[in-house]
Structure 1
Amino acid sequence: MPQLNNFSMSISIISTTFLTLISGYGAIKLYYNLRKQQKDSLSCQNLVQLKKISSKPSLKCNETGELVINYIKLQRDAIRTRNKYQKKLSNILEEIEELREEIYNFECQTTIKIHEILDEIEACQYLNFDSESLLEHIENLKLKLTEEEMIQIETIEMLQIELGHLIWRYRELEIREVHEWK
């Protein structure tokens, strides 16, 4: 599963890089095309009107350049924001995976302990001694079994609550990311 997370992280980085390069290239091309059009329109105006050059066309060219630059800045900010959210989401996914492994390992360990106690109780019951110490030992084992089961149930419930909280955080962060992109 960690390999899948690394793979998905690599894919998102590659796609973000690709989008950055493509959008940056498109924005630069748009800027130069608009600038070229502005120069062409200026030269046509000079030939037709033969009046002194007004400052408005150069302001339009500057305004267009500023718009393109602002657009590129907005794109970069959006990509940074998305990367920030993606990093947070991947960290939460890692925490969720670690907690699931912890729950699984704990459940396995306590189940093994419980089965060992049950095996010991069964072995003691096959002994046909009716001694008082054997009966006390069986009762102690049954109490120990009950305690282990209670510890297992309580701990797993606490870990599952923590897991539910992490999943809730992940969903909330996803929702916030979607709203940020709208």
Structure 2
Amino acid sequence: MAIGLLGVTPIQATEFRGSVSLQLVDTMEHPQHVRLVHPLSFIDSTGETWTTQANRVIPLNLLTDELRLTRPLPNPFEYLKTIILYNGQAENALTNWRDMQAIVYEALIEEGLQEHWAKMIYAAVRAEGWRWEPVESSCFRSCHANSPYLRWRPLPDYAQLLDTIDWILIDFPSLPEINDRVDSLIIKTGPHIFGQ
């Protein structure tokens, strides 16, 4: 029996549900992409379920080449479920990108990555990961209704981001400390005139 304290959200164990069955899709339009054969879900520590539906075409990279080619990070196949989950949400564009970024760290830990690797990848996703306007939002309906979706990557200061990755490895900061540092190194947040 779980006992909830007033004002405290109960923490639930995280869990992936579903198998990773993929078909390679390597075309001019979709280089280094895969098609998810069966749905994949992740239950976060608040009990919310995040699902990437079957038949979704998903890029195999979570990070850009600017980062992947300059730092020895884990092989993407070590956190393939997180890649599928995050990129699936970006392609679907129904959820809030901020909420999705917040659970990336939990998903990486659930996949078995060591904490320092998970924090490094989390920081990179926060700095350069896909962002999107939910297709059901009032902003999308009033400003972007003629588009199938609105998705972008912010532009970080890559020299500072690489320093931040090294800092995480050496100093082992908390997630709030990482958030503050990463947010300060983003040069361009996105296409909106409003805060991102």
- The verdict on a shared fold, with TM-score over 0.5 as the criterion, is no
Higher RCO structure (Cα 8 Å, ≥6 apart): 1
**TM-score, structure 2 length as denominator?**
0.21
**TM-score, structure 1 length as denominator?**
0.22
More helix by share: 1
Larger Rg: 1
More strand by share: 2
